[in-house]
Structure 1
Amino acid sequence: MTTYRSTSDESMLVELNPRGNPMLLEENLARSRMYEAEISAHRQRLAHRLVAARRWRRLAGWAERRARQKAHAL
């Protein structure tokens, strides 16, 4: 990647991405933060699904045991 300083403003560092389009450093940082947020959200969804699956498995086991007890009592 080629990096050069703008003559008008030193805070605007410009990088050339592989396609050759200029990208501001702030844009690049924002994209990487968005990507990290998406990864974090994906991990949270997976964790939530795992917890929910465990909860449903426990509930199903409880319902099965209760149904056996009621059937045995008849």
Structure 2
Amino acid sequence: MTAEDILRQNPRYLTLSKNFDSFFSFGPALLTPDEIDDVLNLKVATVLNGSIHAQNIISNMQFTPDFLVSFHSKVIHS
């Protein structure tokens, strides 16, 4: 999830706009790496109350998942 109001102020605030308690959601299932042939072909969606607000495949993301994990691990501290 992203605090869009913060992100609109400046795209450099991406990390800040994602760094709030309860801003992590997932499901309806968790998969282990051996269950995924190619992570870049996974479909992701934002669903709220059964309504799809956004959907795409990971390969269309601006940054790869491994880059995002590495980046956020360096700049977000608990």
Per the TM superposition, whether the score is higher than 0.5 is: no
Looking at both structures, which has the greater relative contact order when contacts are Cα pairs under 8 Å and sequence separation is at least 6? 2
Q: Which has the larger radius of gyration?
A: 1
Bin for the TM-score computed over the shorter chain: under 0.3
Q: If the length of structure 1 is used for normalisation, what is the TM-score?
A: 0.23
Decide which structure has greater helix share. 1
